[in-house]
Amino acid sequence: MSRQAILLGGLAAAFALAPLVAGPYLLSVLVVVMYFAYVGQAWNIMMGFAGQLSLGHTLYVGLGAYTAAALFVHLGVPAALGLFAAVAVAAAVGGIVGALGFRFGVKGVYFALLTIAFAEFTRILFEHIPGLGGPAGLFLPVGSRDSFDLIHLRGHPLMFYYLILAMTAGIFLLCRRLVRSRLGYTWLAVREDQEAAAALGINVFRAKLTAVMLSAGLTALGGVFFAFYYNNLFPNQAFGMNRSIEIILAPIVGGLGTLFGPILGALILTPLGELITAVTEAMGFKAAGIKQLCYGLSLLAIVKFLPDGVWPWLRGRLGLDRGPDGEDES
Amino acid sequence: MSIDLANQILTGLLTGLVYSLMALGLSVIFGVVRVVNFAHGEMTALAMYAAWALFTWLELDPLVGMPLIALMLFVLGYIMQRGLIDAFVSKPEHIQFILLVAIAIIMVNGSLLTFGPDAHGVQVSYGFDTYEVGPLLVDKVRLLAAAAALGISGLLMLFFRRTMTGKAIRACADNLVGAKVIGLNVKQLYAVTFGIGAACVGAAGALLSLLIDVMPSTGPELTMLAFIIVIVGGLGSMGGALLGGMLIGVSEVLAGYFLMPSMKGMFSFAILILILVLRPQGLMGARK
Amino acid sequence: MSGHSSPMVNRRDFLAAGAAGAAVLGLGDRGLSGRAQAAQPLKIGLLLPLSGGLAREGQSCKRGADVTPGLLADMGMPVQLMIADTETNIDTARTRAEKLIADGAQVLIGAFDSAHTLAVAQVCEQRGVPLVINIAAAPNITEQGFKTVFRNFPTAPKLVSEGLALMKDVFKITGTTPTKAVFLHNNDTFGTAMAGAVNKLFPTLDMPFPLVETIAYDGNARDLAVEVGKAKATGADLVLLVPHGDDCIRVIREMVKQRFEPKAVVSPGSPGMYEVQFYKTLGKYSDYCMTNLPWINPKTAMSQALLKAFSKAYPDALFEMNIGYTFEAILIAADAAKRAGSTDPKAILAALPATNIAEHVMIGGPIVFDAKGQNTNTRSATIQNFGGKPLVVLPSDVAEAKPVFPAPGWQQRG
C-alpha cells in the first residue's frame, strides 16, 4: 500500500471516529471543514482540471440549495429526490455559462468576471422571487432532531456529519478515478495547451463544457446539504460574493489541481479561523474584525511563500510524492 | 413627469463621471501592468476614509484635500506594486486574484478595526444646496465633484499623451518586449503606473466621500462597479472609462425608474454579461 | 456601579495560559451538574453581531448587556455573561452557539438577525437549552413548534399593525390627515417582512388615506436619488420609511436636495431614524421624523436605574430599544432561574412558560409567554425627533412631549 493511501485511510478513520471523542462544538466545526473540502473539490474540477477560473461558484451552491429546498417546502418532495432536480438545474446553468464563455471566446479574467456577473445577477433575482421567500428567507420546517431520516434529510447533527464525510470521501474517490481516466487526460491536454489539444483532434469545447457541468452539478449537492443542514436560505448568503471567495480559498491554499489540496486547505483554514478567535479572545482583544484581518494576513503569507499551495510542499517534505511504482501521485 | 426623469438622468450622469475617475485608475492598472486589481474598490474606500478623517479632524473640505489624498494613495500604490505585487505579475491569474483578495480582506478589516462598522459621510455646509437651472434641480455637490473628476481625467490623458513617462508607460502596455529592448525600466514604470492608478482612486475617493457614505462593505461594491465600467467602456481606453461610467450611471437610473429600484444592480450585471459575451473589448476598446 | 463588566474576562485570562487550544477543540464537554445551584450565578451565553453588517446594532445590544449584571445583582439575581460574536454570519452563529453551550452556558440569548436566530434556535432545541430572543421579528421563528424558544419581541405583523394604529392616533391628536402615502423600504430581510405586513394589513386597518406606491430599494445602493425621485413623483404627502439603518440618512438627504417635503416621514417600526449618526449628519433636518416601535418606558423605576447605569458607562451612546430588550432578555432568564431555584437548563425551561414579570423596562404589559413562546404584551410607542433626541409622544400615558404633525418644511427650519 502506498504511503499516500495509508495517510488517506488514516485520515478517513480519524474523521469517522471523531464523534466518539469530540463534543458538539468540534463536530460542528468539522462539518464546516468538510463542507468546504467538498465544495472546494467540486470547484477544483473546473479550475484545477480544466483550467477555468470560476469566481462565482456559489451560484451553483445556491441553485442546488434553493431547488431542493423549494421542492421540499412547496411540494413536499424529499431531499433524496429533490437532489436530482438540484443537480440538473445547476448543471444546466453551468452549461449555459460555459457555453456562452467558450463559444464566444471569453477567457481568463473575463471568464472569471462572467461567472461573478451571473452569480450577482442571480442573487438580486432571487431577492425578488416571492415564492422563494426573497430577502426574508426561505425557511424549511425543522423536524425531529433525533431521527436519522436520510430520505428527507431531517435528523440529528451526527447524521449530517457522516453524510458530509461520505460526500467528501466520495468526491475525492471520484476525482481520483477521473484524473486517471481518458477524460482526465483530455482535460490535462486542454489545460496545458488548448491549441495543441485541438490539433490532436480533441473536442476542446466539449471537454471544457463537461468539466463545467460536472463541477456545477457536484457543487449543487453541497448546496442541497447546506439547505437541509441550516434549514434556511437567504439570497445574499446563498449567492453572495463572500461565499464564492470562501469556496475557492481552501483549494488554492491547499493546492490547485491536486486531489488532496481542497481537503488540506479546509483543514487549515477553518480551524485557523477558530484558533485566531480563541487566541484573540484569550489575549483580551475583543475588537471586531481582528479574526478576518489575521485571516487575510495568513492568506497573504501562504500565497507569497507557498504559491502552489501547501499540499505540494507538504508531500515533498513527507516524501509522499512517489507511489509504489515510483510514479508521480497527486 | 419627464422633468423628474430628466433630473434623475442628470444626477446619474454627474455621479457616473466620478465613478469614471475611479474606473480610470483600474483601466490604467489593468491595461498596463495586467494585474487584476481586485482590491480596487477597497483602495477607493481607504481614500474615502482618509477624506472623512481629514474633514472630521482638520475640517478640510475633500475638494481641497483631494490632491493630498491622491498623493497618499499614489505612495500606497507604488509601494504595493514595488513591494508586493511585482513578484506576481507573471504568475497565473488565480494567484494574483488571491493575493489581491488577501490585500482586500486586510484593507476591509483594517478599516473596520480603525473606523468601526458605522457609515461615515462628509457633510459639507453646502451639502444640501441645489441650483435651479431652468426647470431642473442640479445638486451643487454632485456638480462640483463631476467637474473635478472630468478635469482630472483630462489631465491624466494629457499626461499619457505628452509626457515622456506617460509615453513610456504606454509603450510597456503596447509592446512589453519592445519596451524592454529599448531599455525602459519596466519595473519602475509598473510601480509608477500602479501609483498613478492609485492616485486616480485617491482623487475619486475624495470626491465620492461627498456623495456617498463609506463603510467597510463599500470597498467590495466599488470593486465590482469599477470592473463593470472598465469592461463596458473598454479596457485600456480612457475615453472608454469615462463613457462607461456615464453609461452605467444613467442606466442604473433608468433601470431604477422604470423597474423596481432594488433591481438596478441586476441590470448592470446583465449589461456586463452581454458585453463580455458579445463585445469583450468594450464599447471603445480596440479589438485585439 | 458597573463593576460586573464582564466576569468572563477573568475566566478567559485563566484559560489563556495554555487552554486556549483546548477551548477551541472543545474537548471535554463541560457538562452541567445536576444539583440545584440557586446561589450560583446563572451562565448566560449572548450571541450578537458585533462585526459585519449588523455590527452597529449588535454593539448597541452589547452595551445594554454590559450594564445588566450589576443591576440584576442588586435585585438578588447574579448572572455571568458569555458574549460571542456571530460576525453577522450564519455559520458562525451556529458554531458559536454550540461552543457557548459546550462552555457551560445554561441559557442562550440572541441573535438579532432572524436567520441567525433560527439557526441558533435549532441548536438550542437539539440541546435542550432555552433560548430567549432579545430581538428578531420574523414570525416563523415561533411557528416552528420549538419548545425551547421564547421571544420577548414583537413579530413584524404586530409591529406594523400597531405602528399604523399609532399613526391614526397622531392624526387624531393633531387634527391633520395626509392625503396620500408612499412606502419606501429597504429590500433586506427585515424590510421585506415589514413590506409584506404593510401590504397585507393596510387595507384592513381602515386608514384614512391610500397607499399609492411601494418602492423597494437596495440598502447597499450608493445613492438613493432615483428612489426618492420616484417617491416624489407620486405626489404623496406622507412617507412611510423602513430603512435598515443608515440608509435613512441618504433618503432624507435626497429628499432635502430634491425639495420633497411630505407632512411627515414615519417608520412603522424599524431602526435608523433615532440613531446618533442620523442626528449628527442631518442636524436640523432630522427633527420631526417619527418612528413607531417598542420603546423604553421613561417612567418606571427599573428603566431609570438602567438609564443611570447606562449613562455612566456610555455617556455618548444612545439609550434605545436594543438596550432595553437585551436587558429584559437577561432579566427573563435570571427571573426563571430564581423561580426554579436552580441554574439547570431543564429547570429553567420548566419555569420559563410561567414567566410573569410585571415591572420591566419596555412599554407594555407584563412579560408573559403564550403557548408558542411569544410575548404578546409588547406595545409600540411613537417617538419623534426633537433637537437631536427621540422623545416619546404616544401613548399619552407615558408621553414626554406632544406630537408635531405636519412637520415644518426643510427650508423653514432654523
A32–chain C Cβ distance below 8 A for any pair: yes
Residue C269: DSSP 8-state: S
The residues with which A46 forms a beta bridge, in sequence order, are none
Q: Name the CATH superfamily for C8-154+298-354.
A: Response regulator (3.40.50.2300)
- On whether residue A329 sits in a domain, the answer given is no
- At C70, is the pLDDT very low, low, confident or very high (cuts 50, 70, 90)? very high
Ranges of H-type helices in C315-393? 321-340, 345-351
| Chain C, nearest residue to A275 by Cα | C24
**Burial of A182 per CB tally in 10 Å (0-12, 13-18, 19+):** exposed
CATH superfamily of C157-293+381-412: Response regulator (3.40.50.2300)
pLDDT score for B94: 76
**Residue A39 lies in domain:** 3-318
Q: Distance (Å, rounded) from C-alpha A92 to C-alpha A220?
A: 11
**What is the value of ipTM here, to two decimals?**
0.86
Ranges of residues in chain B with a pLDDT under 50 are: 288
pLDDT digits (tens, 9 = 90+) for B77-133: 999 998 888 888 888 877 888 889 889 989 998 998 888 777 788 888 788 888 888
The sign of the torsion formed by the CA atoms of A228, A234, A237, A241 equals positive
Examine residue A227 and state whether it is found in any structural domain, yes or no.
yes
Determine which of B85, B267, B273 to mutate to test the interface with A (most A C-beta atoms within 10 Å).
B273
Tell me the β-bridge partners of C107. C44
* Distance (Å) from the alpha carbon of A139 to chain B's nearest alpha carbon: 22
Residues in A touching C98 (Cβ below 8 Å): 24-25, 28
Averaged pLDDT for residues A248-274:
86
CB atoms within 10 A of CB C175: 7
Q: Which secondary-structure segment (H or E) carries C389?
A: strand C389-394
Q: How far is A287 from chain C (nearest CA, A)?
A: 9
Would you kindly state where each structural domain of chain C is located, as residue ranges? 8-154+298-354, 157-293+381-412
**What is the nearest CA distance from C304 to chain A, expressed in angstroms?**
29
Tell me whether residue A330 is in a domain: no
CB contact under 8 A, B273 and A121: yes
pLDDT in tens, C190-239: 888 888 889 888 888 888 889 999 998 887 777 788 889 889 989 999 99
Check residue C22 and give its pLDDT: 42
Residue C1 pLDDT > 60: no
Does A232 reach chain C within 8 Å, measured CB to CB?
Answer: yes
- Mention every residue, 6+ apart, whose C-beta is less than 8 A from residue C102: A23, A24, A25, C26, C29, C30
Q: Do A120 and B280 touch (CB under 8 A)?
A: no
Q: What is the pLDDT of residue A144?
A: 58
Q: Which three cell numbers stand for residue C124?
A: 438550542
pLDDT tens track for C109-118: 999 988 889 8
Give the number of domains in chain A. Answer: 1
Residue A146 main-chain phi, psi, to 5 deg: -100, -10
CB contact under 8 Å between C249 and B12, yes or no, is no
Question: In Å, what is the CA distance from C395 to each residue of B178, C170, C366, C376?
Answer: 79, 10, 17, 17
Chain A residues with CB-CB distance to C218 below 8 A: 124
Q: In this structure, is residue A240 part of a structural domain?
A: yes
122-181 in B: which are within 8 Å (CB) of A?
A: none
Virtual torsion, Cα C337, C342, C343, C344, nearest 10 deg: -120
Top-level class of domain B2-278: mainly alpha
Distance (Å) from the alpha carbon of A297 to chain B's nearest alpha carbon = 7
Strands C389-394 and C381-386: antiparallel
Full-model pTM: 0.81
d(CA A242, CA B239): 32
